[in-house]
Structures are given as structure tokens and as C-alpha cells.
């Protein structure tokens, strides 16, 4: 399956990363390696997981202004096992070593996002419930991390504050109540953006039914309360989507996978991931 890689954002981040890491030159490689020596480096999986972010590799060497030949053995979305060869890169040894760390930092991080996302997706397989990411992303890396979520089989929530209305607890408190917040949004939503409202209890939930809200977020509710919320909504006839949020671990999702939620949003997909272990060997 082809995924739309955010190449322009990636290029901007790679430039920043190379400026941070290489700056005026890789003195170790410059001073220890024979001039114009060429080698082939192989990227090897030291851990099983889902590959994401391979388009980063050519961007790194393009920004280094180095000519290399890249042969991919897998594509984004492939599940790899320990020892699998991901890609080979042929070029000047100096260039390979200068780009190694930046390339691996991006690749390992994005593979980590795709891998943990895929674990949540597998738990929800066979149910109607989809796993969503959040805005709890590394600053500047949002489009890349959300790309990796898609590669892992998950779905994207809103990209930022501009593309969807999400009324949360502080909005509700400042507006004077959940209905007051909804009415204010409804009057001003001339762009017809999708509207989601967070609720903390069943009374708030009931007050929003059959008013035209697109989605209701069940925030930090226990399993029994969420199950009751699903029952109330379905019996009301409202087609509003239901999303659960708050401390969603793999274990917790196993417990609520079959109660009939439309979405479960998981901040840990992007804010607490473990990078996938990948090495480069010449």
C-alpha cells in the first residue's frame, strides 16, 4: 500500500538535524578515511517491527550533497524480523558515516511509532473500533509521526487546531457549560468543520444527544461507565461517533475492545514510543 510521505516537512527537519550533528564537517570521518573510498552499508533490523520512514534515507544524502545508490529490500508498512536486511546504500564511506546517525534517528523513531500503532490495531482487529493518534507529538515532527501511525494501520485525529473543532474541559469551563460551548461553536462554524466535544460524565453526554454533534469524547471514564455511555447513545438513535480517551494502554484497550466504541485515541502512539532498533553495517 502506498502512503503519502510528507517529504517537504521531512526535508526541513533533516536540514535541522544535519546542522545539529554535522555542522562544519564530520571530522572523524574526514581525518580517518581514505579520500573517495566507497563502501556498501546495510541497514539491519535488530528488533522486529513495522517499517516506516524509508523516504528519509535519500533525503539525508541529498541534503549532504552526496551521491549514493540505495537499494530497498522492503517498503513502508512491511513487518520485519530480527536480522532482516532493510536496505543497502553504496557511496563514499565518508558520506555513509556522516549521514548514518541522522538517518537512523529518523528511521528508528518512525518505525517505533508504526510498530506500537500496529500492536493496538491488532488488538482491535475484528471490531468496529479504530485507533487514533493525538496532538501529543514531538514538536515539529507531527506530520512525520502521523504518517507513521497510518503506516502502522492506525488513523489520524485532527492535524492541529485549525482543521477540526475539539471542545475540551477548559473550553467548557470558560464557556460556562457544555451546552453553552456547543451553541457558541454552532453559531460560528461557518466552515462546517467537524465538531467533537469532550464529556466527563453521563449527564454531559445525555445533554448533547440529538443536537448534531459529530463526535463525543469519553474522557477518562472507567470501563463500566463507557459501556453505559455506548448503550445510552445507541438507544437514543443519535448517530454521533464515540471516542474514548485517557491512559489507553495495550492492556486497557484489550478490556474495552468489544464495547462498541468508534474510536480510541492513544497519546502513547507518539509521546512515549520506543524507537525500533536498527543498525548500519559496512
Instruction: State yes or no: is 101 an active-site residue.
Output: yes
Identify the CA nearest to 66 among candidates 40, 92, 86, 42: 92
Instruction: State yes or no: is 168 an active-site residue.
Output: yes
Active-site position among 135, 168, 194, 252 = 168
Q: How far is CA 48 from CA 41, 116, 275, in A?
A: 20, 11, 11
Identify the CA nearest to 105 among candidates 153, 57, 152: 57
Instruction: State yes or no: is 66 an active-site residue.
Output: no
* Spatial contact of 65 and 29, defined as CB atoms under 8 Å apart: no
Active-site position among 26, 92, 100, 198 = 198
Helix (H, G, I), strand (E, B) or coil at 178: helix
How far is residue 32's CA from residue 51's CA, in Å, rounded to a whole number?
33
Active-site position among 15, 85, 101, 252 = 101
Helix (H, G, I), strand (E, B) or coil at 257: coil
C-alpha atoms less than 13 angstroms from C-alpha of 159 in its C-beta half-sphere: 10
Instruction: State yes or no: is 136 an active-site residue.
Output: yes
* Spatial contact of 182 and 197, defined as CB atoms under 8 Å apart: yes
Active-site position among 219, 238, 262, 277 = 219
Instruction: State yes or no: is 26 an active-site residue.
Output: no
Active-site position among 15, 136, 194, 252 = 136
Question: Helix H segments across 126-222?
Answer: 142-151, 169-175, 178-188, 202-208
Which residues are part of the catalytic machinery? 101, 136, 168, 198, 219
Amino acid at each position: 500500500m502506498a502512503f503519502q510521505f510528507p517529504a517537504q516537512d521531512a526535508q526541513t527537519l533533516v536540514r535541522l538535524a544535519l546542522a545539529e550533528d554535522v555542522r562544519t564537517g564530520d571530522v572523524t570521518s574526514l581525518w580517518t578515511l581514505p579520500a573517495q573510498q566507497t563502501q556498501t552499508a546495510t541497514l539491519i533490523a535488530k528488533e522486529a517491527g513495522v517499517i516506516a520512514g524509508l523516504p528519509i534515507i535519500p533525503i539525508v544524502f541529498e541534503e549532504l550533497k552526496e551521491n549514493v545508490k540505495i537499494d530497498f529490500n522492503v517498503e513502508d508498512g512491511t513487518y520485519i524480523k530480527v536480522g532482516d536486511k532493510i536496505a543497502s546504500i553504496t557511496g563514499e564511506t565518508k558520506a555513509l558515516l556522516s549521514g548514518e546517525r541522522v538517518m537512523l534517528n529518523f528511521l528508528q523513531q518512525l518505525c517505533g511509532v508504526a510498530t506500537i500503532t500496529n500492536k493496538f490495531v491488532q488488538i482491535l482487529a475484528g471490531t468496529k473500533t479504530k485507533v487514533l493518534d493525538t496532538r501529543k507529538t514531538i514538536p515539529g515532527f507531527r506530520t512525520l509521526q502521523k504518517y507513521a501511525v497510518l503506516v502502522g494501520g492506525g488513523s489520524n485525529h485532527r492535524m492541529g487546531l485549525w482543521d477540526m473543532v475539539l471542545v475540551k474541559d477548559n473550553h467548557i469551563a470558560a464557556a460556562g457549560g457544555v451546552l453553552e460551548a456547543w451553541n457558541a461553536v454552532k453559531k460560528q462554524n461557518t466552515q462546517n468543520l467537524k465538531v467533537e466535544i469532550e464529556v466527563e460524565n453521563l449527564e454531559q453526554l445525555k445533554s448533547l444527544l440529538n443536537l448534531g454533534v459529530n463526535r463525543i469524547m469519553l474522557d477518562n471514564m472507567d470501563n463500566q461507565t463507557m459501556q453505559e455511555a455506548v448503550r445510552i447513545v445507541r438507544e437514543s438513535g443519535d448517530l454521533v461517533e464515540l471516542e474514548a480517551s485517557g491512559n489507553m494502554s495495550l492492556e486497557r484497550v484489550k478490556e474495552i475492545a468489544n464495547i462498541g466504541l468508534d474510536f480510541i485515541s492513544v497519546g502513547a502512539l507518539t509521546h512515549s514510543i520506543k524507537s525500533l532498533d536498527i543498525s548500519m553495517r559496512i
